[in-house]
Structure 1
Amino acid sequence: MEDAAHLAGVPDEFQRLWTPHRMAYIQAGPEPLRHECPFCEAPKHPDAERLIVARGETAYVLLNLFPYNSGHLLVCPYRHIPTYDEATPEEVAEIGALTQIGMRVLRQVSHCDGFNLGMNQGAIAGAGVDAHLHQHIVPRWNSDANFFPIIAKTKALPQLLGEVRETVANAWPA
C-alpha cells in the first residue's frame, strides 16, 4: 500500500471526515420534503430506500437521517399526529414494543452500553419534525463522547446509513 505522501495533491493540516451518505441531501436540493411530512412519506417507499428497518400494524422503525450515533433509530406511528397524548392505546403499545425490540436488536448488533430514549414534541422542545410524533432510540457506548462533538461540533459515524439499516433489519425478529 502506498504512503499517502506520495499521492497527488498538496498535504495540508486538515483532517477529512468522509460522509458519502450526505450526498442524498446535496442532490435533493434545499429542504427536501419541505411540503410533505418525511414520516408520512417514508412508508410509501421500499424499506431500504427510506431506511426502514421494521414495520408494525400502527407504527414502524427507521434510521434517523441525522443520527447522533450509528444505529440511531426512530419509532413513528403511521398516523400523522404531533404529540404522544394524541396516540391511541394501540399506537402507544406498539411504539413501546418496537422501542423495546429496537433496543434489544441494537444491543445485539452494536454491543452498545446504554441508550438515550426520548420524544421532542413541538418545535420549542427541539423536534426537527414537530408535526409527526416519533420516539428516538440512541445507542450509547462508554467511549462515544470524545472531543469531536464538544470542540468541533462534529460527530464521527463509523458506518454508512445503508450498512446500519441492513444490519439492524437483518437482526430484527420476524
Structure 2
Amino acid sequence: MADGLERLWTPHRMTYVTGEDRPAEGYEKPAGCPFCLAPGRSPEESLVVARGEHVYAVLNLYPYNPGHLLVCPYRHVPDYTELDLAETAELGAWTQTAMRVIRKVSNAHGFNLGMNQGTVAGAGIAAHLHQHVVPRWGGDANFMPVIGQTKVLPQLLQQTRDLLAAAWPRP
C-alpha cells in the first residue's frame, strides 16, 4: 500500500454509518422501530438474549465492546420519565443481571451504563428508550480505537448472544 498502513475492514458498519437500514418513515412509529420488532423475531435474527415481563435484553448490532447489551422496555417510549414503576424496576434489575452475566461469561473489569435521551444527546434511536450495558476491560482503549479509529471485536455477535443467553438466569 502506498501509505504503509494495514487495514482492518469492517464493511458491516457501513449500513449503520449510511443509515441504509433506517426505515423510510424513521423510528418514530413502532412499525419501523427495531426495538419494537426484535422481540417478535427469532433469537438468531434479533440477537435477543433474554425476555422479561416488561423488558428484554438484546445485543447491540454495532457494539462498542464484545457483550455490549441493550436493556429495552417492550413499550415504545422515548423518555425514561415515561416508564411506569414496574418497567423502571425491571429495567434496573435487568441491568444488574446483565452486568452479572457479562462478568460471568467474559470477566469484565467494569462497565459503562447509560441512556442517551434524545437525538441531541447521542441516541441513534431516540424514539425507543434503551439502556446500554457496555463491558470494559483494562487496556480496551488501546491504539486501535484511539489512533486507528477501529474497534476490534474478537467474537461474532451470534456467538456472544449464545454465551450470554446460556448464562442468563431462568425464572
Q: Map 1:131-150 onto structure 2 (within 5 A).
A: 131-150=127-146
C-alpha distance in 2, partners of 1:24/1:31? 10
Where does structure 1 lack aligned partners over 5 or more consecutive residues? 1-9
Q: 1:171 to 1:34 in 2, by over 3 A?
A: farther
Residue 121 of structure 2 is aligned to residue 125 of structure 1: yes
Aligned partner of 2:6 in structure 1 is 15
TM-score (norm 1): 0.85
C-alpha distance in 2, partners of 1:73/1:122? 19
Q: Map 1:6-85 onto structure 2 (within 5 A).
A: 13-17=4-8, 19=10, 22=12, 25=15, 30-35=20-25, 36-85=32-81
Larger Rg: 1
Q: SS in structure 2 opposite 1:48?
A: helix
Counterpart residue type for residue 93 of structure 1: A
Q: Is the 2:70–2:130 contact (alpha carbons within 8 Å) kept by the matching residues of 1?
A: yes
| 4+ runs deviating over 3 angstroms | 23-26, 32-35
Aligned partner of 1:108 in structure 2 is 104
C-alpha distance in 1, partners of 2:54/2:14? 28
The alignment yields a C-alpha RMSD, in angstroms, of 2.2
Where does structure 2 lack aligned partners over 5 or more consecutive residues? 26-31
**Identity rate of aligned residues, in percent?**
58
Q: Is the 2:116–2:123 contact (alpha carbons within 8 Å) kept by the matching residues of 1?
A: yes
C-alpha distance in 2, partners of 1:73/1:47? 14
Counterpart residue type for residue 72 of structure 1: H
Q: Is the 2:13–2:62 contact (alpha carbons within 8 Å) kept by the matching residues of 1?
A: no
